[in-house]
Structure 1
Amino acid sequence: MPDAPAPATPRRGAWPNRLAAAVWRQRVELLRFGTIGALAFVVDFTVFNLMLHGPVDVLAHKPVTVNVIATAVATVVSWLGNRYWTFSARRTRRRVRELLEYAAVNVGGVVITSACLAFSRYVLGLDSALADNVAAKGVGLVLAMIFRYVLYRTVVFRGEG
């Protein structure tokens, strides 16, 4: 009596390997994005607090303006890191256009963080250093980070194809 055929085993075709590679690349990209984001956060946080609550507090009465300035400085740092490391395989040859798109996405991000800060300051009446940082650099930054990542991938760093 012949042996019963072996049960069918899942065939290791091309699509599972491509899917696994895509998932791995996404994970690496997210880790790189987070690393650059952490560096930009340190720059943003430092500039924000030095200008608003530190020895360079000439704009202490304008927290939203300080937030915009700090975010602008951090944006330059993050564009360089994301262009040349995080999304290096997806960057385009049109640097100026890419930078303008990056800046436009970051304007959306600064609107989100500034809205959180303005809500905390002017609606809730919270004006301590802790409240400013929780609103702008905590809640606002998390919301802006999600917004930026999605638009960086789909609008700014979309490759040449």
Structure 2
Amino acid sequence: MRTLFGQFARFGVVGAVGFLVNLGVFNLLLFTVFDPKRVAYGELYANVIATLVAIVVNWIGNRHWTFRAHRGRQLLREGVEFGLVSLGGLLIGLACLWISHRVLGFESKLADNIANNVVGLGLGTIFRFTFYRLWVFSPRRGDPAPAVFPPVGADDPDPAPATGEPAA
């Protein structure tokens, strides 16, 4: 339970950094090039770009800090899996934003921020943490990354054979 709490706390810190990146990029785009008054579906485009930038920031933070003990050596596979889970979180956020803006008619920038950065982010966070922990960085996946510091005795030049027989 202590490990889970520690992971969730680190995930929260990484997520907070990703949130600030997402919030900054989203609002920069929303108030400039993707203003919904000038660009149809501008709020959705701004969300996609901001989320993709935040995904990269979050992957680096989660890989090297939150789940460092369980990250795999297969960087490409892990990156693809992380991307798939992150896209699932993106779709949750997009759905919240789309429903708020297009279905419920809340068209202010404040409403877009609440739909995207409160409701969508909250639901997406639960989804992402669950799948990062159980799938992408699962301790049961095997193939962990090499330790930064080798275990005690790892520099022994003549280790005992794996058969259990004493070394000669």
After TM superposition, the structure 1 = structure 2 runs for residues 75-86 of structure 1, keeping only pairs within 5 Å, are: 75-86=55-66
Match for residue 48 of structure 1?
Answer: 26
The structure 2 residue matched to 1:119, chosen from 99, 106, 112, is 99
- Conserved? CA contact 1:102–1:156, under 8 Å: yes
The structure 2 residue matched to 1:71, chosen from 51, 56, 73, is 51
Deviations 1:82-115 (A, max 9, x none): 0000000110000111010000001100100000
State the TM-score, normalizing by the size of structure 1.
0.82
Match for residue 14 of structure 1?
Answer: none
Deviations 1:9-58 (A, max 9, x none): xxxxxxxxxxxxxx1111111100000000000000000000002xxx11
- Conserved? CA contact 1:64–1:118, under 8 Å: yes
Letter in 2 for 1:136: N
The structure 1 residue matched to 2:120, chosen from 136, 140, 147, is 140
Letter in 1 for 2:49: I
Match for residue 155 of structure 1?
Answer: 135
SS at match of 2:106: coil
Match for residue 109 of structure 1?
Answer: 89
Alpha-carbon deviation of 1:116?
Answer: 0.3
The Cα RMSD (Å) is 0.8
Counterpart-to-counterpart distance in 2, 1:46 and 1:127: 19
Counterpart-to-counterpart distance in 1, 2:51 and 2:60: 14
The structure 2 residue matched to 1:88, chosen from 57, 68, 72, is 68
Counterpart-to-counterpart distance in 1, 2:119 and 2:135: 24
Match for residue 28 of structure 1?
Answer: 6
Unaligned runs of 5+ in 2: 143-168
SS at match of 1:66: helix
Match for residue 151 of structure 2?
Answer: none
State the TM-score, normalizing by the size of structure 2.
0.79
Structure ranking higher in helix proportion: 1
Q: Structure 1 stretch 31-40 or stretch 58-67: which is displaced more?
A: 58-67
Q: State the percentage of identical aligned residues.
A: 47
Query: Across the two proteins, how many residue pairs are aligned to each other?
Result: 136
SS at match of 1:89: helix
